[in-house]
Every structure is written in C-alpha cells, then in structure tokens.
Amino acid sequence: MDWFVRAFLKASLVWLSLAVLLALVMAFVPTLTVYRTAHLHMALLGFVGQMIYGVALHVVPRFFGQPLVHRRLAEVQFWAAQVGLAALALGFITRVHGAPFATGLIVAGGLASALGAGCFVVNVWRTIDASPMSAVHQRGGRALTTLPQPDAH
Ligand code: HEM
Ligand code: HEM
C-alpha cells in the first residue's frame, strides 16, 4: 500500500479528533460557537475529505486495473491538503479575534487546499482514462474484470 493512502486515513482521524474536541468546547460553552467555521471545515474537509482522498487513491486504481498515473502528484496533494487545512482553520479561528494575519492565512490555506483538491481531480481522472477498461469501453466492448494488484490481499 502507498504511504500516502495510510497517511490520508490517519490524517482524517486526526482531523476528526480535533473537530470533535473543538465541538465539545462549543457544546459546553455556547459563546465559543464563533469557532463553528473552523469546526465544520475540520470535520468536512478534514475528516470526510481526507478519508475520501485516501480511500479513492487506493480503490480507484484497483477498480480500473490501472496503477495511479501520477504517484508524485498524490504526495504533493497530501502535504498541500494538510498544510492548507491547518492554515485555513487557524485563519478562521484567529479572524474571530481580529488578528491582522488571519485573512492571509485563510487565503494561503484556501489556495493550498484548492491545490490539493486539484491534484486529486487530475490524478483520479487521468487514471480512469488510462485504464485498459476505459479503452475497451470506448470501443463499445464489455468491461474487463478487475486485474489483481501486486499488493492486493
Ligand atoms: C462529537 C461530535 C460533534 C459535536 C459535539 C458537534 C457540535 C457542534 C456544535 C456545538 C456546532 C455549532 C452549532 C451552533 O452554531 O450553534 C456545530 C456546527 C457544525 N457541525 Fe458539528 N459537531 C460534531 C461533529 C460534527 C461532524 C462529524 C461534522 C461533519 C462531518 C459536523 C459538521 C458541522 C457543521 C456543518 C456545522 C455548522 C452548522 C451550521 O452552522 O448550521 N459536526 N457542531
Ligand atoms: C478548498 C477548500 C475550501 C476552502 C478554501 C473553503 C473556504 C471557505 C470560506 C472562506 C468560507 C466562508 C467562511 C466565513 O467567511 O465565515 C466557507 C464557508 C463554508 N464552507 Fe468551505 N471551504 C473549502 C471547502 C469546503 C468543503 C469541502 C465543504 C463541505 C464539504 C465546505 C463547507 C462550507 C460551509 C458549509 C460553509 C458555510 C459556513 C458558515 O456559514 O458558517 N467547505 N468556506
């Protein structure tokens, strides 16, 4: 299994833990719901998003019998997504206190998060297109069964 698949799944669990921690703080102290934007991005983009990134990067190549076409892009995606979301969440939190650097953090984090999402879209899209099954499908033939992967268990 590629290191970035495990890393995305573990990052997703870390984001879930942080989102739930912040959620509990908000639940106990209702005035702290000013941090809801950070909480919801940690939960949706962090937990849900990173889980989907990890599962899809593992499963799509196996569904289509085609190794990921750009492994390096998935590595760039991992770091862009983590650093991006950390900056985005920190920006949302510090903006509440009027920090002068908050908008910069939100813009930089947003761009990095968008870069991560873009890497994912290109990689998965091109992997599907490079698949021998896609070629058969385009010729109007029947799809092949999934080819076994070297590390499939
Ligand atoms: C232990 C688990 C969780 C707790 C205790 C919790 C608690 C909260 C609280 C207190 C708020 C603020 C509500 C308000 O503004 O009055 C909130 C907002 C929100 N939470 Fe959570 N949350 C949890 C998990 C999650 C998860 C797993 C997700 C998504 C995957 C999520 C998505 C959201 C969203 C989208 C909002 C914004 C809702 C809005 O503004 O209308 N939460 N949550
Ligand atoms: C590149 C990734 C993303 C960036 C840069 C981004 C950025 C933003 C920004 C700047 C806001 C406005 C926050 C405010 O001014 O209070 C916002 C709101 C929101 N975003 Fe995102 N977002 C991203 C991904 C997502 C994803 C993947 C989801 C859900 C699956 C999501 C759900 C929401 C929701 C529900 C709101 C409204 C929050 C509220 O009204 O309190 N975002 N986002």
Helix (H) and strand (E) counts for the chain? 6, 0
Kindly give the distance from the C-alpha atom of residue 110 to the centroid of ligand 2, in angstroms, as a whole number: 9
Protein residue with least CA distance to atom 28, ligand 1:
43
Ligand nearest to the CA of 27: 1
User: 23 is in which domain, residue-wise?
Assistant: 3-132
Indicate the number of domains in the chain: 1
pLDDT digit string (tens) for the chain, length 153 residues: 899 999 999 999 999 999 999 999 999 999 999 999 999 999 999 999 999 999 999 999 999 999 999 999 999 999 999 999 999 999 999 999 999 999 999 999 999 999 999 999 999 999 999 988 776 667 676 655 555 666 655
Whether the CB of 36 sits within 6 Å of ligand 2: yes
- Residue-level pLDDT at 134: 73
Whether the CB of 94 sits within 6 Å of ligand 2: no
- Residue-level pLDDT at 54: 98
Residue 150 counted as domain residue: no
Q: Are 120 and 53 in contact (CB under 8 A)?
A: yes
Residue 153 counted as domain residue: no
- Residue-level pLDDT at 121: 98
- Residue-level pLDDT at 3: 97
pTM score over 0.85: yes
Instruction: For residues 85 and 132, give the distance between their C-alpha atoms in angstroms, rounded to a whole number.
Output: 35
- Residue-level pLDDT at 133: 78
Kindly give the distance from the C-alpha atom of residue 95 to the centroid of ligand 1, in angstroms, as a whole number: 19
DSSP conformational letter for 46: I
Instruction: For residues 134 and 143, give the distance between their C-alpha atoms in angstroms, rounded to a whole number.
Output: 8
Residue 138 counted as domain residue: no
SS (H, E, C) 83-116: HHHHHHHHHHHHHHCCCCCHHHHHHHHHHHHHHH
Kindly give the distance from the C-alpha atom of residue 15 to the centroid of ligand 1, in angstroms, as a whole number: 13
Residue 74 counted as domain residue: yes
Whether the CB of 113 sits within 6 Å of ligand 2: yes
Residue 140 counted as domain residue: no
Instruction: For residues 131 and 139, give the distance between their C-alpha atoms in angstroms, rounded to a whole number.
Output: 13
Residue 7 counted as domain residue: yes
Residue 145 counted as domain residue: no
Tokens of 61: 């190549």
